[in-house]
Amino acid sequence: MAQPSTRRIGRPSKGERTRLVTRVPVELKAAVHRAAREHDMTENDYVSAILAAEIGLTDLVAPIQQEVLPQTA
């Protein structure tokens, strides 16, 4: 009988996490949703990146993906 695989399926761990719950205006939630999608991030990753940047803990999260503009001239 074959041994079961020990390979883990799914995305890699982002490390230890805890829950932070807040309530925001509907318009803010919609804007966060749009901005996260524009940066190809989840809402959670986007908000985490903004909070980390604000308090100077940017080494804890992935940076917000900036659009690369084409060079001219």
The pLDDT tens digits for 3-38 are: 666 777 887 888 888 999 999 999 999 999 999 999
Higher-confidence residue of 71 and 17: namely 17
Domain of residue 39 covers: 26-60
* Domain contains 18: no
Question: Residues 41-63: what's their mean pLDDT?
Answer: 91
pTM of the model: 0.71
Number of domains in the chain: 1
* Domain contains 34: yes
* Domain contains 32: yes
b vs e for 4-32, b when ≥16 Cβ sit within 10 Å of the residue's Cβ? eeeeeeeeeeeeeeeeeeeeeeeeeeeeb
Higher-confidence residue of 9 and 42: namely 42
Residues 8, 73: Cα–Cα separation, whole Å: 48
Radius of gyration of the chain (CA): 18
Residues 63, 41: Cα–Cα separation, whole Å: 10
- Residue 62 is predicted with a pLDDT of 83
